[in-house]
Chains A and B, each alone.
Chain A
Amino acid sequence: MTRKINLDLSSVENREMRLGSIISWDGSASELAEASNYDIRGQKRTGEGGGCAGKKGPGCKLCELNMPFNQQTMCNHSIVGCQVGNIPDCILIEHSPIGCSAIHPRFNLGYRIGLMRRGKEVKNLQIVSTNLLERDMVFGASDKLRRSIRDAYERFNPKAIFISMSCSTAIIGEDIESIAMEMEGELNIPVIPLFCEGFRSKHWSTGFDISQHGVVRQIVNKNPQKQKDLINIVALWGTDYFTELLKPLGLRVNYLIDMASFDELAQASEAAATATFCHTLGSYMATALEEKYGVPQVNASQPYGFAGTDDWLRAIAKIMGKEEIIEEYIASEHARVLPKIQELREKLKGIKGFVSTGSSYAHGMISVLRELGIEVNGSIVFHHDPVYDSGHTEQNTLKHLVDNYGDIEHFTVSKTQQFQFYGLLKRVNPDFIIIRHNGLAPLAAKVGIPAFAMGDEHFPVGYDGIIRVGEALIEILARKKFNQVLQRHVKLPYTDWWLSQADPFILAKHPEILEEGKQ
């Protein structure tokens, strides 16, 4: 089998190149599932067939709607900051001017809450900026980087040091790889260069891959002693619901990467399996661990709703050789949660929802809403991966959603573009939105729609996740009062002309409209 992930290289191929990911598209979920050609792309990734991803053969390239207008978004440099910057006994050095580090207070909030959720000591995040200035852009900044690496080592005594590249240091051609090697020799701890400059990939999720690549390449234990009851869960900062869910299978959970210690990361190669709450996030790491260390990844969609959770548990049981106990567990869980879910379905009758989150997480989230009987006719994903790194057909989350829960009429790919959000909401008039990432909820708020900020991404996981979401939604829906006040009194920053456009992608299809002069 050809290797999908090359751990010999320090840098990672962007998602758009590797997977054919897109950030701008509009149509129905079933159309996107079909256009994605997951199976054919997957064969290419597993080397089994004549797939086409990466080659851009005809019929395989997903058409994108290129808009001339964009609003601020996140970048993969930020993602690296909130991934490897969240390892308590390692230090990240951002090789950049200070502005690239301006999001740290926000990351600190998430990090502290994450530490609390995992029962670890709550402390401030420590990420070092090399704090570059104008003259460094002219004369180079390698000595400042060396200095910051030594500072980090002396101040924090870390078990590993990561270095992240930024827009400016990439353009001036800083050689962070050589410096990393040199300093690794000097300090005798892993020093890990990460090529995550903001302009590098059109979507921030490449930053997850870059972080995971660095961890698997330079931290993970190269001579693993297998731990048969250990399961990796590639996660973010979510509450530990997985321990409970996997207890009947006798598994211990090893969360990666946020808040994990160096040793917890190192033992990733020793686990019996790797799973995740979201393939968008976890697929790269799971695949790398599978290829390099034979840690099998869970071949299923994701643990959301009855169908998703059932399949997911079965797939894990299969890896663990515990198929004989799983059906009984599943049946008893269904029986346990169903009465409560029926109750919630009654209460939520006639309610319409809209999901706007990262890619495959949205697929899971919509399943949960539909389990609750909530109508979902529209959704945004911030990008779309037509295939995941594993290439495994069973992980085709979008298809799983459409097959098990039906189509979504308006399924949009848009990278937190607020100006499009107005039109997208108007098409379906939801009663609430579920949101991750910033930028969109403020607009919904001003058109009378309350937002459920899904800050704890594990909240909807598993059977109990359905109940948790249903109960929380009842509280969120009450906020409509507040949003209606706003709607009555606050103006949006868009022109009437734009707000009257029926198609939020009109400018991609008819850019000539812009030539007519202002209104």
Chain B
Amino acid sequence: MTEKKKVKKSNSIVHSRYGCAIGAVNSVAAIPRGIPIANCGPGCADKQYFMLSFSNGFQGAGYSGGGALPSSNIGENEIVFGGQNKLDDLIKSALKIMDGDLFVVLTGCAGELIGDDVGAVVKGYQEKGYPVVYAEAAGFKGNNLIGHEIVVKAIIDQYVGDYNGEKEKGLINLWFEVPYFHTNWRGDYIEIKRILEGAGFKVQVLFGSEAKGPDEWKGIPKAQFNLVVSPWVGLETAEHLKEKYDQPFLHIPIIPIGEEATTAFVRKVVDFAGIDKEKSEAFIEEEAARYYYFLEHFSEFFSEYWFGLPAKFTTVADAAYNLAITKFFTDQVGLIPVRQIITDNTPEKYRDRIRELYRNISEGISLEVDFIEDGYQIEAEVKKVDYGSSVPLILGSSWEDDVVKELGGILVPISTPVTSEVVINRSYIGYNGALTLLEKVYSATVK
């Protein structure tokens, strides 16, 4: 970085695009019968709910999130005298009131700064055999993506525990999108599981509608390997599991979208696992046939539509969605990427690898991606771009609404926060999701 750029860099953020580490309460709520317990000020968990669930496709918080979420709501009294007793009361009553199988205590800023020994409180319960774990998830530690990995590690270390048994060939632990944060995560988990099962695997998806709850987590050490489908979130978990259970991992940084990418993805996973290819090849054949049946129909619209279609596009999203969606439109649809901005504060150590992926995004196309978190700067950048003669296409968040209006462009929301769409089980990935994504973008175009 040049000296000049360093001086210009500011800490300020407007229009934030993620929550803080305590936002991982939503990851716990994404585990069937998992109960998050927020050990923080009143308002912390509520705010994260609004960023990650409500203002993100109005997903709803499910069984144990949102208004159901136990919280110590630390007050002045605890700040002065300590909050351990209040937390102890909270855990004790949560075990009696909340109907769950795994309780995860997440400590936020206030709890951490006053120096409560949360571990000691929780250990009391663990020793009595209660399924309670704790995680340090203060907001100043990082964003909700960091919080997600902190929580996953806490559950593995304190709940799943040691294992010396056999591994099961063909059984995968999936480390994929971050629950609630990735707007389409629920639909995406369904699609990726469908694909992996179609290829002959058994998959422990751990979060969402297809997950089996804490027992499935207990099965983590049995898996043949860990599959990380994400540019960076999940890598720490996979490294940890490698160390802990001597479990290898396969890292696929780009979430596959479209037939070619998804088929390549399947073959890669099958090769890595060394399982029989007959089933996966039959599956691929069937999926591809269906995919191109629809793509053929779509192509008529795409080549014959008289009234103008977008050609140049900008993506503003976290690393995972940004990379996957940029790749699809560049490599499979032939749109022209003009500006790519990653907004998730990707840790420095992963950035170069991600930059490389953009430089090789498609044959003959090399992109320079930017990492910016401050909405003010992001929106200024989006505005600066030359979109040429056709209507600008911006794949971003609802914060881009104003700037896209100014540009006279089309905004297709793909990243947190999304307040202009209701998302239920939609997916933009894999075989089926790619078609939905085309539907979405081109419906917005012809509207």
Task: Tell me the A residues contacting B by CB distance below 8 Å.
Answer: 68-78, 96-106, 108-109, 123-124, 126-134, 136-137, 144, 147-148, 151-152, 155, 166-168, 171-172, 197-200, 202, 204, 416, 418-419, 438-440, 442-443, 491-498, 507, 513-514, 518-519
Task: Tell me the B residues contacting A by CB distance below 8 Å.
Answer: 10-16, 18-23, 35, 38, 40-52, 54-56, 60-61, 63-64, 66-76, 78-79, 89-90, 92-100, 108-110, 113-114, 130, 138-144, 373, 376, 398-399, 401-402, 417, 419
Interface contact A439-B67, CB-CB below 8 Å: yes
Interface contact A73-B42, CB-CB below 8 Å: yes
A-B pairs with the 7 shortest C-beta distances? A99-B20, A439-B67, A75-B43, A105-B55, A105-B417, A99-B139, A198-B41
Known: A71-B70, A493-B99. A101 touches B12 (CB 8 A): no
Task: Give A129's nearest chain B residue, CB to CB.
Answer: B13
Interface contact A73-B47, CB-CB below 8 Å: no
In the docked arrangement, what's the CA distance between A137 and B99, Å?
A: 37
List B contacts of A136 (CB < 8 A). 140
List B contacts of A123 (CB < 8 A). 402
Known: A99-B21, A137-B140. A129 touches B109 (CB 8 A): no
Interface contact B73-A493, CB-CB below 8 Å: no
Interface contact A198-B110, CB-CB below 8 Å: yes
Interface contact A104-B15, CB-CB below 8 Å: yes
Interface contact B13-A105, CB-CB below 8 Å: no
Interface contact B89-A443, CB-CB below 8 Å: no
Separation in Å of the A211 CB from the closest CB of chain B?
15
Q: Which of A98, A100, A129 lies at the interface centre, i.e. has the most chain B CB atoms within 10 A of its CB?
A: A98
Interface contact B51-A68, CB-CB below 8 Å: no
In the docked arrangement, what's the CA distance between A93 and B114, Å?
A: 24
Separation in Å of the B177 CB from the closest CB of chain A?
19
List A contacts of B67 (CB < 8 A). 71-72, 416, 418, 438-440, 442-443
Known: A99-B19, A102-B51. A199 touches B12 (CB 8 A): no
From A96, A126, A419, A438, B97 is in contact (CB under 8 Å) with A419
Separation in Å of the B200 CB from the closest CB of chain A?
33
Interface contact A199-B42, CB-CB below 8 Å: yes
Q: Which of A71, A155, A200 lies at the interface centre, i.e. has the most chain B CB atoms within 10 A of its CB?
A: A71
In the docked arrangement, what's the CA distance between A6 and B332, Å?
A: 66
In the docked arrangement, what's the CA distance between A144 and B41, Å?
A: 23
List A contacts of B48 (CB < 8 A). 99, 102
In the docked arrangement, what's the CA distance between A70 and B79, Å?
A: 17
Interface contact B42-A72, CB-CB below 8 Å: yes
Interface contact B51-A97, CB-CB below 8 Å: no
Task: Give B416's nearest chain A residue, CB to CB.
Answer: A105
Known: A69-B70, A494-B99, A514-B96. A128 touches B13 (CB 8 A): yes
Q: Which of A96, A493, A513 lies at the interface centre, i.e. has the most chain B CB atoms within 10 A of its CB?
A: A493
List B contacts of A78 (CB < 8 A). 43, 46-47
List A contacts of B376 (CB < 8 A). 126, 155
Interface contact B70-A70, CB-CB below 8 Å: yes
Separation in Å of the A482 CB from the closest CB of chain B?
14
Interface contact B109-A71, CB-CB below 8 Å: no
List B contacts of A148 (CB < 8 A). 10-12
Interface contact B51-A493, CB-CB below 8 Å: no
